[in-house]
Structure 1
Amino acid sequence: MRELVFALEYEPGRNRVADALAGHPGTRVRSLSLHATDDHLWRVDHATGTPEALAAVEDAFTDGDYYADCLATEDCGATQTTRVLDRTDDTLVLYTDWEPTPVCASVPHIARDHLGDGVLFETRHEGRHYTWRLIHSGEGDVGAFFDALRDAVGDAARTELLRTANASAGGGTRADADGVGLSPEQEAALRAAVEHGYYESPRAVDAGELADHLDVPRSTLTYRLRRAEERLAKAHVARSVAGDAAPAPFE
């Protein structure tokens, strides 16, 4: 089994959910369940945030031009139903049932075409970054999958590979060669942050200045640093527990 983790970073105005999350920093949406067949997709998502942020997320999910992850650049005429399963002041659980048309495309359907049946999907949406974690047999063509994904996404979003690794028999993943599993982009951001004094106290540069140095949007830089810091912290804790073989959680 193989693990594949990547992110789509949406441009403003190209994804209603991304726009809603970008307007409410700290709000997150993660999938609780996601299943796809050739002609259907069902998912349950859990959102956390302020009441105002959750209202914006609900509006984005239920708006007619969202269509449950459809990557088509124009109105595809798909049929979608979204229902609220649970709501509190700071959480929202949404169920979505999507029936695509022949012109539609989505990450799960592209994955089925190139990675085979039995792919497991897990997602997290934060700001304009939509992170996908796929567990697949390893027998498909990952290169063809990414080519098809980039063609479907077009200029609506940037695609960034975060990690690819073998899945262990225990359900976790073996870390990449660096022992932590940072993507090249995460490692570059972390290295630049250290070299330019971002972690000094007081800081020698702020996030905006560091982003300018790397020629990436500030939101992209902070996203990469948070993911890198998360993996480093979890790797440190895992190593400190003798004999601990706990799987690395989705990031």
Structure 2
Amino acid sequence: MREFVFRVEYERGADPIMDLFMEYPSAHARTLSCHVSKSGIWRIDRIGGPHEALERIDAVYDEHENCLECVTGTHDHPDWEYELLDADRHTRTLYMYRAATTDCHSVPCLAAHYLGDGVIAEAERRENVYEWHLLMRDDSGLGDLYDSLESHLQPGLSLHFEQLGEPTRWLGRSVSVAELPYEQRAAVEAAVANGYYETPRDLSLSDLADSLGVPRSTLQYRLQQAESWIVTHFVEHSTLGDVALARRAVDTPESEA
């Protein structure tokens, strides 16, 4: 197996969805599942961000008639289906489907065309960057895929190579900060960005709360909840998970179980 990682960067005005990610830097999208066959393409995306940003993203999906995924041309795809599987103020889980893929120039469809069966695609979007991870059986056809992307990108898009090699982090990515509730993810990312977890610590919890415009107690609660979720899921998905969970079950009195 081989892994190919690259990113597509967008200028303002090149894509209505990416424009909103640029306007709302804390918004984030992660592709949870993506499949392509001769009969069509379907995927599930998890989008998190401010309520206003998500409402505007909803409107783009509802009103836009062109394919919002094509990177090497703009095509009318009126038969795209968009359906919300789950939604709250700060998250969306979106299902997308389109039958017949011969005229779709999205990254998954191009990958299926050049790399053949067996490709698994993951993607993340934030600000002006759409990053792709392709897991494939081998890298034959990869040069043709990259050449096609590089030569035919729409105006306002640029392609940037990240890495090609042995698969990495595919199991690790199953535990993602993107899966946290929006407020908790924003708190963790702000804490990391501002050096709260550095040793020695660059700023206090109170200073971080002031910079975010939230009460100290609220920020502390969000960080505690996020830290608990991250650590628990990390252990559950690690090789020590079964041992740790079994030990916790033994150490927990029946009255507390």
TM norm. shorter chain > 0.5: yes
When normalised by structure 1's length, the TM-score is: 0.63
Paired residues of 1:39 and 1:99 also in contact (CA < 8 A): yes
Partner of 1:28: 28
Q: CA deviation at 1:34?
A: 0.8
Q: Structure 1 regions of 5+ residues with no counterpart?
A: 173-200, 202-243, 247-251
Match of 2:118 in 1: 118
Cα 1:143–1:72 change in 2 (3 A) is closer
Distance (whole Å) between structure 2 residues aligned to residue 77 and residue 86 of structure 1: 24
User: C-alpha distance in 2, partners of 1:76/1:119?
Assistant: 25
Report the structure number with the largest CA radius of gyration.
Answer: 2
**Could you list the runs of 4 or more consecutive aligned residues of structure 1 that deviate by over 6 angstroms after TM superposition?**
none
Cα contact 2:67–2:74 (8 A) shared by 1 = no
The corresponding residue for 1:143 is 143
Counting only pairs closer than 5 Å after superposition, residues 224-243 of structure 1 correspond to structure 2 as none
Q: Is the CA contact 2:9–2:130 (under 8 Å) kept in the aligned structure 1?
A: yes
Q: Figure out how many residues of one structure are paired with residues of the other and give that number.
A: 176
Instruction: Please tell me whether the aligned partners of residues 30 and 125 of structure 2 are also in contact (alpha carbons under 8 angstroms).
Output: yes
Deviations 1:5-46 (A, max 9, x none): 111111222211101111111100111111111341111111
- Separation in structure 2 between the aligned mates of residue 73 and residue 164 of structure 1, nearest angstrom: 25
In structure 1, what residue type is equivalent to 2:149? L
Match of 1:63 in 2: 63
Q: What's the CA shift for 1:66?
A: 4.5
1:142: Cα distance to partner? Answer: 1.6
Conservation of the 8 A alpha-carbon contact between 1:6 and 1:159: yes
For the structure 1 residues 75 and 112, does the alpha-carbon distance in structure 2 shift closer, same or farther, using more than 3 Å as the test? closer
Letter of the aligned partner of 1:117 in structure 2?
Answer: D
CA offsets 1:38-76 (integer angstroms, 9 cap, x no match): 341111111111110111222233332442512353343
**Counterparts in 2 of 1:31-180, with a 5 A limit?**
31-71=31-71, 73-99=73-99, 102-167=102-167
Higher helix share: 2
Indicate conservation of the 8 Å contact 1:16/1:61, yes or no. Answer: no
- Return closer, same or farther for 1:94/1:171 CA change in 2, 3 Å cut-off: closer
> RMSD value over aligned CA atoms?
2.6
